[in-house]
Amino acid sequence: MIELSYFAAAVLFILGLKRMSSPVTARDGIVWAGVGMVVATLATFFMPDMHNYGLMILAILIGGGIAWYTGKKVEMTDMPQMIAIYNGMGGGAAAAIAAVELMKGDIPSTSFQVLAVLGALIGSVAFSGSAIAFAKLQGLMKKSLVFPSQKVVNLGILGLALLLGLVLMFSDSPGGFLLFLFFLLALAFGVMMTLPIGGADMPVIISLYNAFTGLAVGFEGFVLGNAAMIIAGTVVGSAGTLLTQLMAKAMNRSLGNVLFSGFGTTTAGAGASPEGEMKEVSATDAATMMAFANKVIIVPGYGMAVAQAQHKVWELAELLEERGVEVKFAIHPVAGRMPGHMNVLLAEAGVPYDKIFDMDEINAEFPQADVALVIGANDVVNPAARTDPDSPIYGMPILDVDKAKNVIVVKRGKGRGFSGIENKLFFLDNTRMLYGDAQKVAADLIAEVKQL
């Protein structure tokens, strides 16, 4: 019955993940995967020689209670950091399992001991790295830390961790101090690897640590002989790996470049200075341009998320549609602070799925758009990615906003974006800047459209 329960849980995990691939069935997919986790957890209580039921139930109540409360209270704008810390907790749990099994010293074979150490290393890196990602996304850590010979220091920490790991892999009775030092180095490497990475690369890092967590859980599943952990870890690890590759591809950068280049920090090169000057537009004129347009494409970015303006933006879109304007939403794969961030926000506001298009689907339509409304997006609409070989984002696929007949950019101020790169879109002849908080600007545009 235990094995059948684990098999049922695995099927639910896989089917749930499959249903998550479509916005229409994603909610059901999450529920299916959650039911699978409940089945796997309950089956564990009936494992032979299982004990400490009181502590198990207490842990479930505490962890489940915290997760339920934070899941209910978290703002959609804070979802990236919650995902980051939950990813990290999974990696930390896998590392803790490895620590217990290594200290017990009764792992049945050397191959399983190798998997235990590898799971400990990967899980520890995922835990501490995700904690730093959380701190950056939450605003607790304002700057990325870059210092001379940083890569050498990081390589030295990783080398020592690997050396100690090799000793642990083939040791009959790993000592407590050796284990402590190994985990300390693994945790330190996760911290040091994440410190120099800027906010612009956070979608890639979150998905990478997600893959790490899955891999660590899968390894520890082999150590424990737990089929549910093996399958769940493998599914999460493979999905996270694929997502990481897709995110890196969307930025036209290798994973090594993301991890070691320092892009996304305030010290990143900005490329050539743009020519011309930014031209401001009033809410009245912007509303008039959109109200009398045939097609408007809205491009949301992190500025919309920070201002929690998605509901107002959708209200504006509905008003325009009532006037006969065709309105579509364009989403770049790495817009926001986690994969799918903008899609989640728009779904929360009630935007129909058939009005949301990804980059490949929508780019050909920008030349026919009378107005492209950019709300808080920066690097994903920067034409320097196509035209400036000196720009750090050169070669990165972007939304072709600059090809629209008119571009209106909603921005809080005149500063550069999160990655510190000047956006040449803002200086083009067909671009007008509408300064202010995205929610207030959207409300002003709604009021102006209603008066027309």
370 has catalytic annotation: no
Phi, psi of 407 (to 5 degrees): -125, 130
Q: Which two tokens stand for residue 366?
A: 């920008």
In residues, how long is the chain?
452
The Cα 25–Cα 409 span in angstroms is: 33
The Cα 22–Cα 107 span in angstroms is: 42
The Cα 451–Cα 448 span in angstroms is: 5
Is residue 176 within 8 Å of residue 104, measured between CB atoms? no
Say which of 201, 379, 388, 400 is annotated catalytic: 379
The Cα 416–Cα 116 span in angstroms is: 45
Residue 404: count other Cβ atoms within 10 Å of its Cβ: 25
- Helices and strands in the chain: count of H runs, count of E runs: 17, 6
Cα atoms found within 13 Å of the Cα of residue 22, Cβ hemisphere only: 7
Q: Which conformational region is residue 262 in: left (phi greater than 0), alpha (psi within -120 to 50 degrees), or beta?
A: left
Q: Which two tokens stand for residue 167?
A: 């000793």
Nearest to 247 by CA among 214, 198, 212, 200: 200
Residue 58: count other Cβ atoms within 10 Å of its Cβ: 11
Largest CA distance in the chain: 80
Q: Which two tokens stand for residue 344?
A: 């989640």
Nearest to 118 by CA among 20, 52, 217: 217
Is residue 410 within 8 Å of residue 375, measured between CB atoms? yes
Residues β-bridged to residue 280: 433
The Cα 93–Cα 283 span in angstroms is: 51
Looking at the annotation, which residues are catalytic? 379
